[in-house]
Amino acid sequence: MKDFLVALGLVIVIEGLIFSIAPNFAREAMKKAADTPAERMRIVGIISAVIGVAMIWLVRRAFA
C-alpha cells in the first residue's frame, strides 16, 4: 500500500509540473485526447498498463 501511495503521489507531482511549466501544451494534449476515438485510447491504455507493470516487475527484480 505504501508503494501505491508513493506512486500515486509521483503521478500527481508530474501532472502538476506539466500543468505549471507548460499549460498550453497540457491544454492542447487534452483537446487531442478528447478528439481521439475511444478504441484507440483503450488500446493505448492497455499498452501503457502492460509497459508499466513490466517496468515495475523488472525494477523490483533487479533491485530486490
pLDDT value of position 15: 95
pLDDT at 64 over 90: no
Give percent of the chain with pLDDT exceeding 90: 88
pLDDT value of position 9: 96
Q: How big, in percent rounded to 5, are the helix, strand and coil portions of the chain?
A: 90, 0, 10
pLDDT in tens, 10-26: 999 999 999 999 999 99
The number of residues making up the chain comes to: 64
Q: Please give the model's pTM, rounded to 2 decimal places.
A: 0.74
Cell output for 46? 492497455
Taking a C-beta distance cutoff of 8 angstroms, is the pair 41, 33 a contact? yes
Dihedral of the alpha carbons of 53, 58, 59, 60, in degrees to the nearest 10: 90
pLDDT value of position 25: 96
